[in-house]
Structure 1
């Protein structure tokens, strides 16, 4: 089988998606609690209910893909409407209540956990359908030998999370916990017939202790690890070395040689020589001295969109 993996990340959580094309040609997607869901059913659940539109979105002008998508549409031909597709997903995740409840829960799962980086509103479903169709098209291109496999160690496919990103994610999660804790304490005391003063329902150390814990252990939100240590200002070289340290997400127990080895795209970005010995070799690296990390786009979004429209691209829904 051919496999495509998408790791979609929103400020709240990170959801891995697996799209696979089996030997019999059926294409499935798995994400969150939804396992091995036919892609054509998901497209209908996202509002693309006409077979013609599904064909056009996935295949484009590539006629050699028509047979694969025809076969997938035939396999799921009993699902005709968006309601049918949502009810099917509701059954798939084990909801045993009435039809309306299945549709409601399936809608919530699609909006919250399907490609959360795109959005979590109902209006974002069409964008998710386009994203899914492009992912399936790329998988079919791989199956037909039109493109090669992606190199996941290529630095174009990687992003560095800086301390500000990690602190932002941590604060968002901890603050949500903080608010939930205040609400729980307030409701608990109100049920007893008391009107509690503010200092009794607010645990002031909750925010501080969680942030200190993350900085002390280097364990951040989403199972991410970051470099946390006392900054050594003995001389300028040690200071620069510590500030430019990079840690991989891989655990030290994995033997992944390709991830630990020097990649050609490290040139000018990652120092090829400076890495510790032992189990951390290749997992703890240092930025090259002249490397800079872009934190803001160099062009405004609207300006970029206008330039893309000039070369022939059109906005979705236009």
Structure 2
């Protein structure tokens, strides 16, 4: 009940104050004020907007967007923004109502929903849902990032040329990143390209680089897992003698630790391959606090553990 009241309060305040926020945006600072939900999107806005934007991100390092609920402190960030960019595809499930309400007073773009439906992965457990973790396929991420460019141009058409130039430069970075990942992952023997994590965040990554992916939980960490899920994964890992499993920065290590203990009880060796960034990036100001840095970290960690 308390959670619902908070969401209702956030929605009401944002809705009522949306008009004055629009007036106090670009006119005072000369820049477009942007609020993004996750770090990956915030970083893309910085790359494309450059000096023309001021960016605030709601969900920082270690924050799970699947479980995130709107907080009182988010009101100001949403209220002050000229533009809001979020993923969509139910990634920010518990904030969806708030984001949709905000869109009644100011532009709010669900950038991942610009990707053609036929290129999205279906949820095996729920035919009506799709996998929202599109940033792990660089080609799909480029499509989503195009929505950031278009949103900034619509809000600030005077600087369209600059936004387009910055987008092309960012696309070049992403193309280089893709080549880097292909070469590194390609060095892992095919039979050892098995990526095991806490939840199913890496299937787009697996599709892109010919890796088999296993997750203990489903696409959303809101889904529960039980003893049977743990035991089933333990049996598979022990039988196939998988070398390593990975934890995620935004999810408790508890589930993966239980899996490792189960495999070892069966007399099989298994290592903790390291920590991967899935739904959240690293700290701002660090290499992993950028999309490119986060992605490279994941690639390097996976290769070191599995090669």
TM-score by length of 2: 0.26
TM-score by length of 1: 0.26
Higher relative contact order (CA 8 A, sep 6+): 2
Larger Rg: 1
